[in-house]
Amino acid sequence: MNLPATIDYPNLLLKDAEELIEQSRHGLAVLVAHMACDIAVQRSLSAAFARKHIGELEEPISKSCSGYNLANDRLREFYTALTGDAIEFEPFWSDFTQSAHRRNRIVHEGIAAALPAARESLEAATALVEHVIRHTA
């Protein structure tokens, strides 16, 4: 039986974000970079449920989450408890939370992102994705 191939969407999205920066589409780049983070976090949580042999809890618990943004304290605390990864002590954490705030302002307030901010967000998102993937493996 052939299983479907898993597509590395987090890294594909980070590449897309980089291309968006090159096209001067800075706000979209920030949003796409954070989509990559959310997917990496969701996959990490799913793997942790499976490792702990509590996969049946994944769906009901996931329904109570409002997303997979680790800048949300409730989700980050749950992520840490489930994975054992105290991610908030990582060197990139402050940059990531600043980027998450930027992402929220882009989405909810319609602010524009300048080139330096988009690059900072891409760097922070890349660091988070790399960390989460490495921690999941």
Is 65 a domain residue?
yes
> What's the CATH code of the domain at 46?
1.20.120
Domain range holding 96? Answer: 10-136
Looking at the structure of the chain, the number of domains it has is 1
Q: What is the pLDDT of residue 38?
A: 97
Reduce the DSSP state of residue 7 to 3 states and report it.
coil
Name the strand (E) or helix (H) holding 80.
helix 73-83
Q: What is the pLDDT of residue 61?
A: 75
Q: What is the mean pLDDT of the chain?
A: 92
Reduce the DSSP state of residue 72 to 3 states and report it.
coil
Tell whether the model's pLDDT for residue 115 goes beyond 70: yes
Tell whether the model's pLDDT for residue 5 goes beyond 60: yes
Is 3 a domain residue?
no
Looking at per-residue pLDDT, the higher value among 83 and 63 belongs to: 83
pLDDT confidence of 3, banded at 50, 70, 90?
low
Is 97 a domain residue?
yes
CA distance 59 to 56: 7
pLDDT digits (tens, 9 = 90+) for 24-80: 999 999 999 999 999 999 999 999 988 878 877 777 677 777 789 999 999 999 999
Is 31 a domain residue?
yes
Reduce the DSSP state of residue 24 to 3 states and report it.
coil
This prediction has a pTM of 0.91
